[in-house]
Chain A
């Protein structure tokens, strides 16, 4: 950091203080604040000093106010029980997660590369299927995948973009190396929290970021709208874009509202839309009004009851045929779910090399593919050290964490693996990085991940930073909001 910048800081915030960091011990994990990193312009040390200068009471008071604001602003998800609908906020942690300018350049390039590869892969498997013929990815894994949509074969999408909105889950290992844990190529959620967390931070901790230049996060709505206009049918001057939501009972409804507002487009539900003569219209006070591009937050199978699940009340009969006629654009395209499957994930480094002739910028978590003899042998030999995952499942089901499993559990896993090796992959257990997080005992290290969001129409743009999800329970590796996870503001530094 420059001396000029240093001079601007209020001396009182620089006063050393015992307190919030007492007992903070991140090792053996990589700490996103205190582990030494190059090229941060001194910002990390400055943030550390400013945090140290706050009392625990001050932290608690400001955080409580920030969470009250989030609640009153309705930045909530709704949990439905038998009797009640309870609005909950995603717990907000006030200690920001900092990404240096250099780290971000690498992450951004890595995400762009990955999105390119995902789109090329999808185009290929719905057209010539060269990658299958060349034996790079087993054909059965793709064509037999429940998320592979034969309806999509030979159907061209504008710019070859299938995944317009992509969220890529990234973790950082003990050495500080970023690794992709999962691709989300269907309807990734959470981006609204990136922007709302920044606003919450600006309200509650304006002094913390004073004089530190951060990459802004509020351009997302504009970029998303641009991408949707890019893919709207040609010849439409001023395309009508809408966001299609399952409605107020969906747990991500707040985000749907947020994005519709940011883009300035109507938020519609299935029943607001109607297809006539293979064109899509919305019901307005003046009758039917044409719709040209749809950002849908509804899964493939609910989109159109005439093509997929006939019992879906959320979708629009005839939507898919209107889309196939080229009369309306859909983001994301139908059939992207095959690309973010765990089984395909293992092949992503090969997929990137195959289409782009480049090395992956972002590494995968090392993955053993058990359908391959070497992978199976290595997995069987190291089962107690590995995490064993079934390929078809999601949401953490069916996973065996070797180092935490009993002997009996390990034997059961071994039996399942031997019975059907093709259904399994295995990975080493990653010691996820940590960041200081407010707990009842003061600031303590808690594990976190990062989900950057990429928007692609004609080209790909990545929102600086992304969503940092943090496991609030000590030692927990589960960052999901449904299991006690919270989130942090993510700061991407401008200066090096």
Chain B
């Protein structure tokens, strides 16, 4: 048994670390979703693909109020340029930076510097930068900026409790985001069941895997063929793919274990929630999940993660509020 570390961590810092990681993960995933949506856009029904982005982020009401019916250009603007949309990429980067600013006494100078530069760049994006022909490379750059931050963090951030809270936030957000990525397909396919299994449909599942950076990993498990069920199985239940929901939840549980063993924290509340959602994933086959309803299941996972997050707040952050926004 390792001796308990003496250095205390301010509850406010722990919460800011948790949220900074969540906002960054959100930014990376939104960039992935926008990128894949452009690929989904098929002749005749471009608006539908973009509409699904609004829906999976549960932004329908705010979007309607600001822009009316979803069109490709307004959805792009809503998520890439609109700082008044709290779920937009610039708003999330700003929120991550606000947390980083609170955390400056704790995080490395290199983390702060990159965050600052990232924020400066994103805040200065213009209509021209988000034009369709530049969109894919823009999304790549956004993704890479988050990955750069992740790498700097890995290489420079001191590994005490703070690191565990950061990882906890990252894994919970990633678990959630993968369910949302999968949900796009559900939303897209719902109105046209006839397409299921068609060439168009399969190419879209391909695109989905690529958006999650999972195509090659998927191929290692399934060298031949591609079925929607096996892709959903891979993204939700694979035990080795870094963005699979099950793996992320197991990682989050490992962070809680460390917080308990090495720092003596009482993790019972959140641990129980995470165990429940993990068991829910482990004990069901993908066939069973699809039979009962993929969308409903994803919805349940999302609600459980929100509940786990609330337990984390109660257990460690007390009455603190995040620096901006919420779950």
Residues of A within 8 A of B (CB): 72-74, 240, 243, 248, 253, 257, 260-261, 266-269, 271-272, 282-286, 289
Complex contact B116–A285 (CB within 8 A) = no
Question: Which residues of B124-164 are within 8 A (CB) of A?
Answer: 161
Task: Tell me how far the C-beta of B18 lies from the nearest C-beta in chain A, rounded to whole angstroms.
Answer: 10
**Segment among B102-110, B169-177, B182-190, B286-294 that sits at the interface with chain A:** B102-110
- Whether A267 pairs with B8 at a CB distance below 8 angstroms is no
Contacts of B13 in A (CB 8 A): 266
B255-271: CB near A (< 8 Å → 1, else 0) gives 00001000111000000
Contact B10 A284 (CB under 8 A): yes
11 inter-chain pairs at a CB distance below 8 angstroms, sorted by A residue, are: A72-B113, A73-B113, A74-B101, A248-B98, A266-B105, A272-B10, A272-B12, A283-B318, A285-B161, A285-B165, A285-B317
A74 and B113 contact, Cβ closer than 8 Å, known pairs A269-B12, A282-B10, A285-B263: yes
Chain A residue at minimal CB-CB distance from B12: A272
Closest chain A residue, CB of each to CB of B259: A285
| Inter-subunit contact A284/B116 (CB<8 Å) | no
Q: Which residue of A lies closest to B318 (CB)?
A: A283
Is the Cβ of B316 less than 8 Å from the Cβ of A267? no
B6 CB, min distance to chain A CBs, angstroms: 8
Given A261-B105, A285-B316, A286-B263, check contact A266 B10 (CB 8 Å). yes
Is there contact, CB below 8 Å, between A74 and B264? no
- Cβ of B104 and Cβ of A74 under 8 Å apart? yes
Docked CA distance A257–B109 (Å): 11
B298 at the interface (CB under 8 A from A): no
- Please count how many residues in chain B sit with their CB below 8 Å of the partner chain's CB atoms: 27
B317 to chain A, nearest CB (A): 8
Complex: how many Å from CA A261 to CA B108?
Answer: 10
Of the candidates A72, A253, A269, the one having the most CB atoms from chain B within 10 angstroms of its own CB is: A72
**In the complex, what distance in Å separates the CA atom of A260 from the CA atom of B109?**
13
The distance in angstroms between the C-alpha atoms of A306 and B29, with both chains bound, is 48
Q: Which of A73, A243, A266, A282 contacts B109 (CB 8 A)?
A: A73
B14 touches A248 (CB 8 A): no
- B73 at interface by CB-CB < 8 Å: no
Contact of B9 among A248, A267, A284 (CB under 8 A): A284
Q: Which residues of B contact A282 (CB under 8 A)?
A: 8, 10
Nearest chain B residue, comparing its CB with the CB of A242:
B10
Q: Which of B8, B161, B316 is A289 in contact with, Cβ under 8 Å?
A: B8
Q: What's the Cα separation between A44 and B13 when bound, in Å?
A: 47
Are the CB atoms of B263 and A260 closer together than 8 Å? Answer: no
Chain B residue, CB-CB nearest to A267: B105
A248 B8 Cβ-Cβ under 8 A: no
List chain A residues, Cβ under 8 A from B316. 285
Q: Is the beta-carbon distance between A286 and B104 smaller than 8 angstroms? A: no
Q: Which residues of A contact B113 (CB under 8 A)?
A: 72-74
Q: Is the CB of B105 within 8 A of A286?
A: no
Closest 5 CB pairs of A and B: A284-B8, A267-B105, A260-B105, A289-B8, A257-B104
User: Per-residue 0/1 for B44-82: is the Cβ within 8 Å of any A Cβ (1 yes, 0 no)?
Assistant: 000000000000000000000000000000000000000
Closest chain A residue, CB of each to CB of B110: A73
Q: Flag if A248 contacts B101 (CB, 8 Å).
A: yes
Instruction: Indicate if B117 sits at the interface (CB-CB under 8 A).
Output: yes
Q: What residue of chain A has the Cβ atom nearest to residue B162's Cβ?
A: A285
User: Are A286 and B8 in touch, CB under 8 angstroms?
Assistant: yes
Which residues of B are found within 8 Å of A269, using beta-carbon distances?
12
Residue numbers in B under 8 Å from A261 (CB-CB): 104-105
Q: Is B217 an interface residue (CB 8 A)?
A: no
Min Cβ gap A359→B in Å is 43
Q: Residues of A contacting B112 with CB < 8 Å? A: 73-74
Bound-state Cα–Cα, A286 to B4, Å: 12
B100 to chain A, nearest CB (A): 9
State A73–B113 Cα separation when bound (angstroms): 5
Are B117 and A285 in touch, CB under 8 angstroms? no
B122 at the interface (CB under 8 A from A): no
A87 CB to nearest B CB, Å: 9
A223 to B325, CA, bound (A): 40
Interface readout for B283-307 with A: 1 if CB under 8 Å, 0 if not? 0000000000000000000000000
Additional A-B contact list (14), CB under 8 Å, known A72-B113, A266-B8, A283-B10: A73-B109, A74-B101, A74-B104, A248-B98, A266-B10, A267-B104, A271-B12, A282-B8, A284-B8, A285-B9, A285-B10, A285-B11, A285-B265, A286-B263
Output the nearest chain B residue to A289 by Cβ-Cβ distance. Answer: B8
| CB <8 Å contact, B109 and A285 | no
- Please determine whether B116 and A72 come into contact, CB atoms closer than 8 angstroms: yes
Does B10 contact A286, Cβ atoms closer than 8 Å?
Answer: no
Q: For A73, what are the chain B residues with a Cβ–Cβ distance below 8 Å?
A: 109, 112-113, 116
Whether B12 lies near A286 (C-beta < 8 A) is no
Cα(A283)–Cα(B265), bound, Å: 13
Residues in A neighbouring B98, C-beta threshold 8 A? 248
Shortest beta-carbon distance from B309 to chain A in Å:
15
In the assembled complex, how far is the CB of residue A85 from the closest CB belonging to chain B, in whole angstroms? 10
A248 touches B116 (CB 8 A): no
B281 CB to nearest chain A CB (Å): 28
Contact B105 A283 (CB under 8 A): no
Chain A nearest Cβ from B179, distance in angstroms: 28
Residue of A nearest to B4 (CB): A286
Nearest Cβ in chain A — how far from B322, in angstroms?
A: 14
Cross-interface CB contact of A74 among B12, B116, B161, B263, cutoff 8 Å: B116
**Identity of the chain A residue whose Cβ is nearest the Cβ of B161 in the assembled complex:** A285
Query: In the complex, A153→B11 CA distance in Å?
Result: 36
Give min CB distance, B321 to chain A, whole Å. 10
Chain A residues, CB < 8 A from B116: 72-74
B10, B120, B161, B316, most chain A CB atoms within 10 A: B10
Known: A73-B113, A268-B10. A286 touches B264 (CB 8 A): yes
Q: A72-B117, A74-B112, A285-B265 are in contact. Are A257 and B105 (CB under 8 A)?
A: yes
CB-CB < 8 A to A285: which residues of B? Answer: 8-11, 14, 161, 165, 259, 263, 265, 316-317
Q: Are B11 and A283 in contact (CB under 8 A)?
A: yes
| Complex CA–CA separation, A292 to B219 (angstroms) | 59
- Shortest distance from the beta carbon of A241 to any chain B beta carbon, whole Å: 13
